[in-house]
Amino acid sequence: MIHLINKSGASVMLTERGAGIVSIVVPDRNGVMGDVVLGYRDEESYLADGPCAGKIPGRFANRIDGGRFTLDGKEYQLVKNHPGYQLHGGPDGFSNRLWKASQISDTEVVLTLDSPDGDQGYPGNMHVEATYTWGEDNSLTLSIKATTDAPTILNLTNHTYWNLDGEDSGSIFNHVLRINASRWLATSEALIPTGELAPVEGTPMDFRTAKPIGRDIKADFPALKYGKGYDNCWVLDGAPGLKLAAELSSTASGRRLEIWTDQPAAQVYTGNWLDGSPVSKSGRPYRDYDGVAIECQGFPDAPNHPGFPSCVLRPGETYSRTIIFKLFA
């Protein structure tokens, strides 16, 4: 495990398995420290866990329809880990690999991973670097860079589950969420994008004004029935570049989270299938809806939708993305 700590005593724990976030310990409104991310009791539990808790999935986060795509006229068949699609880069994706950590200081670490040509069906030898920096203001910055020696596709994110009342506090239905997005990606029943950028207005997908996560989660709306809750991608408003993607808050603890990114979209997953996950740090099993993941990323299934932002990376180019988690109380 890798420990980052700032002068206030607030801390982050990371694992080389999947370059994942294991814990983030920050004060509530009364100054009481608490761990606000879901995670497991032992490091071994991070191998092949269904929730992908805290980790960096890849090479391609989210879904690719049929587990196949065409690039420069050549079709590639990926290793599928779900019927009809590949999720999060396949059964042995980046989230299950041991990354190599180099701790720079008490507040910074660089984790690297080399992915060979043909890995899970993807072309090109790829080198990835993920840098976590823990600020004195309780902000955690994740900077991800990658290069390749052959044309390929790439979509990287972080899959942390948040519970601002504490990781052992149960349902996040009372957490208040705002998403800076006026459109979302409509999907099939398998949660594969149809290609439609649908307006959120007048639907349960509208989080432009902050509202409790649980307010509409059981609404009679197809997307919510497909995933047993929110498991959808929002198209972030605003010009390209670093912007505020989402805000999450809890009136119970007084904690608040801002997520900033230069990614074009954010997948919000309300932990709809957490039942049966490994034993938590607190020793109890997590239940459905005990945490919410806000995954800043490129568009899912982008290689199969020419109208979506490109996810192609070519030799000589550097993939560079930033996600910042800012915590307040």
DSSP string, 132-184: EEE-TTSEEEEEEEEEESS-EE-B-----EE-TT-TTS---TTSEEEE-EEEE
- The verdict on whether residue 63 carries a ligand-binding annotation is yes
For residue range 32-61, what is the model confidence (pLDDT) as tens digits? 999 999 999 999 999 999 999 999 999 999
User: What domain range includes position 199?
Assistant: 2-328
Spatial separation of the C-alpha atoms in residues 78 and 53, rounded to whole Å: 23
Domain count across the chain: 1
Looking at residue 148, its amino acid is: T
Cα 68 from Cα 70, distance rounded (Å): 7
Mean pLDDT of 182-209: 98
CA–CA gap between residue 99 and residue 6 (Å, rounded): 24
pLDDT, position 262: 99
Interatomic CA distance for residues 232 and 262, integer angstroms:
19
Rounded Cα distance between 312 and 317, Å, is 10
| 203 annotated among ligand-binding-site residues | no
**pLDDT band at 3; cut points 50, 70, 90:** very high
Q: Residue 161 annotated as binding?
A: yes
Active site residue 3: no
Q: What percent of the chain has pLDDT over 90?
A: 99
Is the whole model's pTM more than 0.85, yes or no? yes
Catalytic residue among 159, 167, 175, 247: 159
pLDDT at 53: 98
pLDDT of 208 reads 99
Q: Confidence band (pLDDT; 50, 70, 90) for 164?
A: very high
pLDDT band at 185 (very low <50, low <70, confident <90, very high): very high
Catalytic residue among 129, 167, 247, 295: 295
Q: Is 119 annotated as a binding residue?
A: no
Is 231 annotated to bind a ligand? Reply is yes
Max distance between CA atoms of the chain, in angstroms, equals 59
Q: Any residues with CB less than 8 A from the CB of 326 and at least 6 apart, and which?
A: 137, 138, 139, 257, 258, 259, 260
Q: Mind listing the pLDDT tens digit for each residue in 261-278?
A: 999 999 999 999 999 899
Average pLDDT estimate for 81-110? 98
State the number of CA atoms in the 13 A half-sphere of 37 facing the CB.
Answer: 28
Confidence at 226, pLDDT banded by 50, 70, 90: very high
Which pLDDT value is given to residue 179? 99
Q: Tell me: the pLDDT tens digits for 114-163?
A: 999 999 999 999 999 999 999 999 999 999 999 999 999 999 999 999 99
**Per-residue model confidence (pLDDT) at position 269:** 99
Catalytic site residue 82? Answer: no
- Report the pLDDT averaged over residues 175-195: 98
Note the pLDDT of residue 177: 99
CATH of the domain at 42: 2.70.98.10
Known binder of ligand: residue 160?
yes
Give the pLDDT of residue 158. 99
